[in-house]
Amino acid sequence: MDLPVDLVATEGGLVAMAGVLVVLALVDSTSFGTLLVPVWLLLAPGRVRAGRVLAYLGTVAVAYLLIGVAVLLGAGAVLERYGDVLESRPVLLVQLVLGIGLLVLSFRFDGKRSARRAEKDGGRPGRLVRWRERALDLDPGTSSPVLPLMGLALGAVTLEVATMLPYLAAIGLLTASDLATPVTVGVLALYCVVMVLPALLLLVARWAAARRVDPWLRRLERWLSKNAAEMTGWVLGIVGVLLMLDAFGRLGWTG
């Protein structure tokens, strides 16, 4: 039996949105807090402490979810009240300028520039080095070893608030959809699970085959540490381009 055209269109739109959300979540999964710090925890000397990594990732996911729900509810209220204004030409021009600004800003995130800045600081440990020390020097013998990890996770999330643009883009998609609020929150929760899934897979891999996985993890850690600035720049640039293209389309400048 053929489905009604509008239902097919709706399902197609939902499938497309789900695909975009998965891609955005995977982009978020490569950030400092969701991948680099977990890799540092996995590289701690001795046997892998799965509980530590799970406590860290759980705190990151829950913190992201709470931030997302707060932004989602606030964005919904703004759209309900000012939806027509947000579609106006001046606002779209502001969006276009913001996209151009993010694209220009992305070129400032250069690993060589960060290295030169570190040399000017007199060789003092950079922020990544200090965070690595915090991740690896957590004392497992403390009376409450989970609390320092939770603090580390919340610190990483706080550090990334200004650059969680893929997450904000995902929230924007969900806000613009016709999904009910409970469903939207559930989708946001699934987004957070997908976001920490690569780190969870690395945890399973190291637990199952530490000798084989450790060399690969060390290469991954070196690459992530070396390219952390460039990765942030790529995220800013991609989101900037998406904002520009969306503004162009809604302004009718696509020809």
| 5-28 and 181-208 helices, crossing angle to 10° | 40
Which pLDDT does position 197 carry in this prediction?
Answer: 95
User: How many Cβ atoms sit within 10 Å of the Cβ of residue 21?
Assistant: 20
CA pair distance 75, 221, nearest whole angstrom = 36
**Structure-token match 């000397």, residue found:** 45
Q: Which two tokens stand for residue 181?
A: 């609020």
pLDDT given for residue 80 in this prediction: 65
Q: What angle do CA 76, 79, 83 make, to 5 degrees?
A: 165
- 64 alpha-carbon distance from chain centroid: 9
Torsion sign, CA atoms 38, 39, 45, 50: positive
Contact between residue 17 and residue 171 where contact means Cβ atoms under 8 Å apart: no
Distances (CA, A) of 30 to 34, 35, 69, 198, 227: 6, 5, 22, 8, 11
- Residue with the two structure tokens 């640039």: 237
* Per-residue pLDDT, 127: 58
CA distance 60 to 33: 8
Give 230: exposed, middle or buried? Use CB within 10 Å, 0-12, 13-18, 19+: middle
CA 35/CA 93 separation, integer angstroms: 35
pLDDT in tens, the chain (255 residues): 333 333 334 555 677 788 888 988 998 898 888 988 888 888 877 777 888 889 999 999 999 999 999 888 887 676 666 666 667 788 788 888 988 887 888 777 665 555 555 445 444 445 555 666 666 666 555 555 677 778 878 877 877 776 677 888 888 888 877 788 899 999 999 999 999 999 999 999 988 887 888 888 888 877 777 776 676 677 777 777 877 887 777 777 755
The C-alpha atoms of residue 176 and residue 145 are separated, in whole angstroms, by 41
Residue 39: predicted pLDDT: 86
pLDDT at residue 84, rounded to an integer:
66
Cα–Cα distance, 115 to 102 (Å, whole number)? 22
CA distance 184 to 195: 16
Q: How far apart are CA 163 and CA 139, in angstroms?
A: 30
Evaluated on CA atoms 126, 131, 136, 141, the torsion sign reads positive
**What residue type is 211 in one-letter code?**
R
Q: Which two tokens stand for residue 131?
A: 């965070």
